[in-house]
Chain A
């Protein structure tokens, strides 16, 4: 609005105002009309003043390219991935096994999409969801491999979709995507994590201190050497994506097994020098369906996207149990 007023003023003052004033000025030379001379001169002064104020501002603020870059016609910063067909892309096929909650069965759907060399399986799935089939259901969030949402099975291997490159995993121009089988399926690629979280809680996964008030007041930090840190650090990288449970042959045949994720976290807190729970942590998992159910197939460590090595953690727990001479309890429920 203000721009248009300003441009009106700057355009019309010279176009009409100046000739009109000249005309009035000339009229004033006719005898008897000399009073118009003062009138036209004062009008001219006013006009010049107005032009000066508005016009100069207009020229300097709008027309002239300022010292800082002006972005009116500048490049468009496009997402470039989710919606557009990117450059240097090739067509790939996603064969997606979607779980249907009504029929309780997997249905295969095929989609074709363009993918460039940077696109992840998650990018591809979202492209499908946003442009072809909004009903496709999947879980995702950070797209940088740290939130643990997008665990699924690609070409038969449990992976994080956001960390899995399309080009590198394409055979015959296509790849297979299906939900994890180590967790109950909910819909399409989404699985139910309630049991998984319950199992995590079974191992009391928090730093235990005898004095709770002191823990919460926090006047001083606990000292910890680098050696002490290194003892638990590798096991603290767990993002709770659930891939290890999908890969574990024991979990898939015996759902009561606490599983590699929870057990690795039991070791993570046991090995932390700041924790005061001591051997009670070992007793807590020293069960038939705890550490002793692990057959050390090592598949959990093979699929862990963050290199946690749960299989090793479980063997360390077994060693601690033997060292501390603890007899296995029957199972968690009977304890």
Chain B
């Protein structure tokens, strides 16, 4: 097996991964050898699909906004589960990162004076979401990918699927990955690994995210013994297009769109009188589902899905063309509805994994509830849980999180990789064992159909761990996933080709999804309260006395363990969350 040696390996090429690469390279005067390993072409990561914008207080002197207000909105949006010290870092550093992205060439939408425009967003008390039309993620990704090309010390391994993270004696040794084009396994030996593989919303069938958001990094870390934090909190975006789940950005409501039920009523006034459509996503999602459940939704003929209307007509053609062109393009191309003329059919869909790999405020992976770090492993972006989003993320905070921790982690790993050496051990041998296991999996002659397993998992998750959850359902979901995992151990890869074997890649992804689905179900079963995105019918109230704490889920020698760690509270004591 080929061994590639470098100083830093970054797993994932979304906004978080690329930002980290740029800053670590810049910090070392472009000296460190940095590898980016991605299972897609680097510029195709799911970050390109981010639409609405990046939050950050850019012009406090003009708008009257403040860093503190941004932080408080975030904490309140998180239903007080966010670590407040981390939130303060986010709010403080976000403006600089927006300006940095401007320096890289992002085509920000501008006002007459040439300043970056900002729009209102859900749960934000001021318009502070900077945007580039409704393709913000795409523009940022292109700018970052292009900028990387000026760093000759950064090499990108396109279409390399990482399937094992090797940690020896609490320290990172290397990464085993498969080159999709040739089917060959490669061992990447490095001092530092930054996991930036994004979320896992594909555990659900009805989701806004790419086919590739299968939480591979989360599952790798979980299997390597690093705990996952707060996995029960999955964000459901209120407005996903029916029937395909494509995201209709919250910016549509930020620009002024209405949500209407089948009676033609703006029903949000019953749920969040002051913020209306711009309440945080968990509240809007619950409102839509309640309307549908009480018979005030529409039914989609082809798919049978129930939905409500998102009405943009009163915004007018000019606003839609200037600020929301992608929404228009997508609706016309995928469901033949022009939002200028007709309301869009929308319903909540899985959108964001608030939980993730347990990290400290610096983004370092933490091995246990006592705060012992795994040396050499960082996790940032959606796959990590710092946690700045708590139990419910506010729209546009995710991109700021990627950019802010991208720089912070980039600086740390540059220093770490310059001063530390490689881990001593038998990593190459372990890598070969992992490779042999993959070869065994790929060479089986019969077994279970992976796509059936995936379909059944997604059905169970969609049914039992959706916007509202109940105890019976959560137990059923967990049982179902256990059965599926047993079946998966005998999974069959029909494709025997070595070249671009997407069947084998799908099987590896489904294995990752099953691990994550299990963590979500277990975390959810144990949290006996309703907080943010986790709404349990039997426990309709938030319970700060018993549950103001983060869930940790471990996997240790096949056994699953739970632990809880306290939430860091600095300035803002939990109060009732009313909008």
Contact = CB atoms under 8 A, between A and B. Distances in A.
Interface of A: 3, 61-62, 66-72, 74-83, 86-89, 101, 116-118, 120, 123, 126, 129-131, 134-135, 137-138, 140-149, 163, 165, 186-188, 190, 192-193, 197, 200-201, 204-207, 209, 215-216, 218-226, 228-229, 232-233, 236-240, 265, 269, 272, 274-275
Contact of A206 (B44, B45, B104, B333): B104
B44 A149 contact: yes
Contact of B333 (A138, A163, A233): A163
Interface in B410-446: none
A135 B494 contact: yes
A149 B246 CA distance: 16
Interface residues of B, number: 94
Contacts, number: 254
Interface string B143-172: 100110110000000100000000000000
Contacts of B113: 223
B112 A193 contact: no
Nearest to A208: B150
Interface string B58-97: 1000000000000000000000000000000000000011
Given A147-B48, A221-B98, A274 B105 contact: yes
B110 A224 contact: yes
B378 interface: no
Contacts of A78: 205-206, 303-305, 459, 462
Helix, strand, loop or mixed for chain A's interface?
loop
Contacts of A130: 451, 455
Give the one of A116, A149, A188 with max B CB within 10 A.
A149
Given A78-B205, A206-B104, A144 B330 contact: yes
B99 A218 contact: yes
11 contacts: A3-B471, A68-B290, A69-B294, A79-B462, A83-B455, A142-B44, A142-B46, A216-B23, A219-B96, A225-B112, A229-B110
A201 B138 CA distance: 19
A269 B330 CA distance: 27
A88 B105 CA distance: 46
B553 to A, nearest CB: 20
Contacts of A87: 301-304
Give the one of A83, A134, A186, A219 with max B CB within 10 A.
A134
Contacts of A81: 243-244, 303
Contact of B43 (A148, A187, A207, A233): A148
A141 B211 contact: yes
B329 interface: yes
B31 to A, nearest CB: 14
A76 B462 contact: yes
B334 A118 contact: yes
A70 B537 contact: yes
B455 A82 contact: yes
Given A130-B451, A239-B138, A116 B211 contact: no
Contacts of A117: 302
Contacts of A201: 149
B102 A236 contact: no
Contacts of A275: 105
A216 B305 contact: no
Nearest to A130: B451
